[in-house]
Amino acid sequence: MKIEVEPAREAEQELVDAFGRLLPQLSGSARPLDAEAVGRILACDANTVLVARADRAIVGTLTLVECPLPAGLRARIEDVVVDESARGHGVAGLLIEEAVRIAREAGARTVDLTSRPDRETANRLYERLGFGVRESTVYRMVLEG
């Protein structure tokens, strides 16, 4: 399987459909995105949405968020998801390697990502790619319902 990774540029129906198919595989609470929502995500200067294609079809996505802060440029990888049919072919690794390359070129010193403990395969991949578990406490405030 030949995989190509590229940044998403426009909120075309193909990308909207891909998110509709992929995000539920990442989280059961994922809400459907329409073209307007995808357009807002792509238009945000902090975001780089990468897509992985196999035979021209989108089989994976990742969002790199880069944020300049007083302490330096922060980079974070979010929403890494690969279609069940394409798992085990290196898709996630290629997406992450491209995100890290982009972050490095932008001047980020570190790249963060989070993953649920039950995503054992993903966590092993992240460690193989050089990510280490960070001693930190993550706090979350739920703002809806």
Residue 44: CB partners within 8 Å, gap ≥ 6?
A: none
For every one of its 145 residues, what pLDDT tens digit does the chain have, with 9 covering 90 and above? Answer: 899 999 999 999 999 999 999 999 988 777 889 999 999 999 999 999 999 999 999 999 999 999 999 999 999 999 999 999 999 999 999 999 999 999 999 999 999 999 888 889 999 999 999 999 988 888 889 897 6
User: Do the domain assignments include residue 8?
Assistant: yes
Q: For 107-132, give one letter per residue: b (16+ CB within 10 A) or e.
A: ebeebebeeeeeeeebeebbeeeebe
Domain count, the chain: 1
DSSP 8-state assignment for residue 21: H
The answer to whether residue 135 sits within a structural domain is no
In this structure, is residue 50 part of a structural domain?
yes
Is 93 within the bounds of a domain?
yes
pLDDT of residue 145: 63
Residue 42 counted as domain residue: yes
pLDDT reported for residue 101 = 98
Radius of gyration of the chain (CA): 15
Q: What backbone torsions phi and psi does residue 128 show, to the nearest 5 degrees?
A: -60, -35
CATH of the domain at 70: 3.40.630.30
In a domain, 144, yes or no: no
Domain housing 46: 3-128
